[in-house]
Structure 1
Amino acid sequence: MPVHNAAQWLEECLQSILNQDFPGSMELSVFDDASTDGSRKMVEDWRERLVMKGISLQISGHSSLIGCRVERFPEGSTERYTRWINTLSQEQLSTQVFTSHGPSIIMPTWFCSRMWFDKVGQFDEGGKGVPEDLLFFYHCLRQGLGVRRVDQCLLVYRYHEKLQPTLDTIWKLRVDFLQERVLSQWEGFTIWNAGKQGRKLYRSLCPANQKKVKAFCDVDENKIKKGFYTYEESKERPKPKIPVLHYKDATAPFIICVKLDMTGGVFEENLTSLQLQEGKDYYHFN
């Protein structure tokens, strides 16, 4: 039921819904179209009466960035990325926003209200190399927008070789956003991957967050036997040495720098075995 400044008619409308004699389960989904006359509160005041009649109530409004699933063309190009963008759960749309894949819903599918667009601000037109879609996506999250996806394929998305991102710029943006949104809330954490990507993340962190790194963890016996990663570029004396542990011996929370869908399911099984909650105990930064 779409509602826009309908307070004077809502009593009659909601009473008619309450009077329904349909014996099955019912849900009233109200979409508040930016009402300014108290319509939303009036509907909320009816919640208890509706629930007592067996009618569940959902009230929504303009508070999400909405995308959809896509078909990649030519078929088979960027296979892992396409699978990722199309299969994230609704919860993962909000937790897997730090990965190298970029926004968790693909930019050409975005819809949001004009009010939110004006509040977030326009795209950064700084020129070639500016990741304007990633910047806009981060600004949306900072403003409190949710992320939702219509689970239908509504776009054909063409791939070509000139789609080359500015990797260094995007890396810095991702690291800064991770530090702002996650690491600032943690007292300590483990980096899952003692290899190239994990060490690169460590070196990219600000000094305060570097000191929060309790350990690296891995499955590579050679890295684990070595015992430590020494930050050779550090100006500190003695140079920081970070323990390298087996993942079963490490403690949450984790920042995971392991690529998904690359180990035949082995990494995913290892992660599942720890019975952790994504968005609380770990975030992907692969």
Structure 2
Amino acid sequence: MADISVIIPIHNGEKWIDNCMKSIASQSVLNTKKRLEIAVYNDGSTDKTQELLEKWEDYFKSRGVGFVLARGKTSKGVGAAKNGAVKISSGKFLCFQDIDDIMHPHRIYLQWKAAKSNHNALIGSKISRLPINSTPRYSHWANSLTNAQLKTQIYTSNGPTLLMPTWFCHRSVYDKVGGFVETGHGTPEDLIFFYKHLDAGGDLHRVDEELLVYVYHEGAATFSVKRELIWKIQLDRIQQCVLPHWDHFTVWNAGKAGRRLVRSLSPNNLNKVVAFCDVDKNKIGHNVELYCPIERRVIIKLPVIHFTDAKPPLLICIKLDLSNGEFEKNLESLNLSEGNDYVLFS
């Protein structure tokens, strides 16, 4: 049995394999007594992926490093591939690695140190991007979240506050969740796993060092995920986990995003909305009537007030870091507590 299994799903990844495997071969944990294993599931690749994996299998085994490899005839998606790799692995701890990313030399060792004292935690890390500055807002957000925000900013369009390519955990975390959903391409399997982990009482922790080079390219699996599905999953969860605790709330953003949210609320939660708030002088002081074309009636009429007049709790439908800091300054001026007085849904 291995101490740590590196879990790698792969589909047509021939161009990335060598760099990824070289970074694993350079891990400092290999200089310790910890037994490392690499578990790869080839998800129906049609290029030279299998041939290259078999070469690396020979290389690692010659160094006394475990390497297990399974292959599917057809591609069933990332969730199924991750589950397939975990199934053939034996490690007490799981280190998830995408084939197109590159580990820093101390990644596995430092995350193992964090995970060994917290078997209930999903462990992440900071990242660097390649090409450099390819997604500056996303990288800044992920790397600058506080420990508290790891659990509060879980409803933004960025997805999980711990980026999936950096995940590391005790095997019991995976078992408790029950693995990744296997509904095929376009499914945000990482977000669904993340929410299930939190719902099961799971903890979150980030090693505050850049331990992974997160490679940005057009063929990345993340681009196959349906944004509409992410939005729906997040809306469903916020209605199940946040809004039941609020008797009333104000929606910050009287524009398109805020109106879309209000239209999509359940009847019970719709009745809790008391106003929109905004900074736009052209909207403040007016009423917004939301019309339902199916029912052919106005479902709600709400006043638009200045954000300084809004009483918490607030459901904020504004993306971060898009207004040269103006929104963030406005929010900070209210001296509110994130997670209690307001929740970001963007």
Rounded to whole Å, the distance in 2 between the matches of 1:192 and 1:82 is 25
Deviations 1:92-142 (A, max 9, x none): 000000111000010011112111211111111211111100110010010
Question: Which residue in 1 is equivalent to 2:320?
Answer: 260
1:195 to 245, 249, 255: 255
| Residue 345 of structure 2 is aligned to residue 285 of structure 1 | yes
Code of the aligned partner of 2:324: G
2:134 to 77, 94, 101: 77
Which has the higher mean CA deviation after the structures are superposed, 274-283 or 233-242?
A: 233-242
Question: Which residue in 1 is equivalent to 2:166?
Answer: 109
Cα distance, 1:239 vs. partner? 3.9
Rounded to whole Å, the distance in 2 between the matches of 1:158 and 1:90 is 25
- Map 1:170-249 to 2 at 5 A: 170-225=230-285, 227-233=286-292, 235=295, 239-249=299-309
Cα distance, 1:236 vs. partner? 7.6
Q: Could you tell me whether the CA contact under 8 Å between 2:125 and 2:208 is conserved in 1?
A: yes
Percent of paired sites with the same residue: 51
The RMSD of aligned alpha carbons is 1.7
2:203 to 141, 146, 154: 146
Cα distance, 1:249 vs. partner? 1.0
Rounded to whole Å, the distance in 1 between the matches of 2:256 and 2:139 is 25
**5+ long unaligned stretches in structure 2:** 1-91, 93-116
Q: Could you tell me whether the CA contact under 8 Å between 2:162 and 2:206 is conserved in 1?
A: yes
Rounded to whole Å, the distance in 2 between the matches of 1:249 and 1:205 is 23
Rounded to whole Å, the distance in 1 between the matches of 2:240 and 2:203 is 18
1:169 to 229, 244, 247: 229
Question: Which residue in 1 is equivalent to 2:147?
Answer: 90
Secondary structure of 2:207's partner?
strand
TM-score using structure 2 length: 0.63
Secondary structure of 2:126's partner?
strand
Deviations 1:243-286 (A, max 9, x none): 11110111100111111111111111111111100110001112
Code of the aligned partner of 1:184: P
Secondary structure of 1:156's partner?
strand
Question: Which residue in 2 is equivalent to 1:99?
Answer: 156
Question: Which residue in 2 is equivalent to 1:156?
Answer: 213
Rounded to whole Å, the distance in 1 between the matches of 2:340 and 2:162 is 21
Secondary structure of 2:292's partner?
coil
Cα distance, 1:61 vs. partner? 3.4
Secondary structure of 2:340's partner?
coil
- Map 1:19-58 to 2 at 5 A: none
Rounded to whole Å, the distance in 1 between the matches of 2:338 and 2:128 is 27
Q: Could you tell me whether the CA contact under 8 Å between 2:289 and 2:298 is conserved in 1?
A: no
Assess, with a 3 A threshold, how the Cα gap between structure 1 residues 139 and 202 changes in structure 2: closer, same or farther.
Answer: same
Question: Which residue in 2 is equivalent to 1:120?
Answer: 177
Question: Which residue in 1 is equivalent to 2:106?
Answer: none
**5+ long unaligned stretches in structure 1:** 1-32, 34-59
Deviations 1:202-232 (A, max 9, x none): 112111111111111000011114x111111
Deviations 1:31-58 (A, max 9, x none): xx9xxxxxxxxxxxxxxxxxxxxxxxxx
Rounded to whole Å, the distance in 2 between the matches of 1:218 and 1:66 is 37
- Map 1:1-12 to 2 at 5 A: none
2:125 to 58, 61, 68: 68
Rounded to whole Å, the distance in 2 between the matches of 1:121 and 1:264 is 42
Cα distance, 1:161 vs. partner? 2.0
Secondary structure of 1:222's partner?
coil
Q: Could you tell me whether the CA contact under 8 Å between 2:291 and 2:298 is conserved in 1?
A: no
Rounded to whole Å, the distance in 2 between the matches of 1:161 and 1:220 is 36
Cα distance, 1:233 vs. partner? 1.1
Rounded to whole Å, the distance in 2 between the matches of 1:73 and 1:282 is 34
Rounded to whole Å, the distance in 2 between the matches of 1:277 and 1:81 is 23
Structure with greater Cα Rg: 1
Rounded to whole Å, the distance in 2 between the matches of 1:143 and 1:111 is 17
